[in-house]
Amino acid sequence: MHRVSGLAQMRDWAPALEAADAVIHLAARVHVMTDSEPDPLAAYRNVNCEATLGLAREAAGRGVGRFLFLSTIKVNGEQTPGRPFTESDPAAPADPYSASKWEAEKGLAEIAAATPFKVIMVRPPLVYGPLVKGNFLKLMRLVEQRVPLPLRSVRNLRSFIYVGNLVSVLEKLLTAELPRASTFLVSDDHDLSTPALLREIGAAMGVKTTLLPCPPRLLLAAGRLIGRQEEVRRMIESLRADCSRFKEDLQWSPPFSPTHGIADTVAWFQGRSHARRLHNGRIVA
């Protein structure tokens, strides 16, 4: 295992690639909400594209058979106002993170075209499960604290994938007979609105989720005023991935339901919260 911060400096992958039949490349520079880099695109590109391609070239040169690259649904875009995204939709990355992933995908396809190397691009939506961060973690904190949330009027749909389902996807791709370069969109195959997600989290926690009505356009305006417009957008807009091609081509169905995945994530979160309270001395055994 190599740390993300060191990926761009790696020049010799030989120890990691010795006797390897395949590479599953998950490491990346992900969303940095307060980015101190003077050139964020260059920082993302350095790790997510250039380091990825360096590893892939060395793997191809050493006879590794296939390279599984965890990309992102955001390569397709930030929102789906109509139907879900499919593999045939054009790329439309809208931020440095997704742009760097798209550049890596194109570079990997070029390597595959010039060698016997097989590359598979996987574009998941938000991945959740134990150790989740970002907005999913924030939502769990808000539900745990019983904060009333003005999200009852939101009518969006978003795709997610539980880490257990993602592992199942990657296991399938390690042995599947596929073209030299393939791209798949994957998900739990069960999209949720933000209110439905919050209710699922509340049910797993055993707490009542209080949702208040508020027009989404007002939420977006409020987010703009406090400098959290993009965070609010992700709460109120739709972003859906159609995983039907992966299901059909690889005869796959998600082994875990969203209810199971959310319950597992909440169990980890509650154990983490309990341990933190113990550490702070607020619970006496």
Q: State the pLDDT at residue 4.
A: 43
Q: Which residue has the tokens 């001395």?
A: 281
Report phi then psi at 251, rounded to 5: 50, 55
141-155: pLDDT as tens digits: 999 999 999 999 999
Give me the catalytic one of 44, 97, 128, 162. 97
What confidence tens digit (pLDDT) does each residue in 66-96 have? 999 999 999 999 999 889 999 999 999 999 9
User: CA distances (Å), 51 to each of 6, 13, 95, 110, 160, in order?
Assistant: 9, 11, 19, 15, 27
The pairs formed by 199-202 with CB atoms below 8 angstroms and a separation of 24 or more are 200/258, 200/259, 200/262, 201/139, 201/140, 201/143, 201/262, 201/266, 202/143
- Report the largest interatomic distance among the alpha carbons of the chain, rounded to a whole angstrom: 64
Element of type H or E holding 63: none
Which strand (E) or helix (H) includes residue 219? helix 216-225
Predicted structure pTM score: 0.89
In a 3-state reduction of DSSP, which class is residue 192?
A: strand
Tokens standing for 157?
């749909």
Is residue 97 annotated as a catalytic residue, yes or no? yes
* Ordered structural domains, the chain, with CATH: 1-123 (3.40.50.720)
Q: Euclidean distance between the first and final Cα of the chain, in Å?
A: 38
Note whether 168 and 184 are within 8 A (CB).
Answer: no
Ranges of the chain whose pLDDT falls below 70: 1-11, 31-37, 273-285
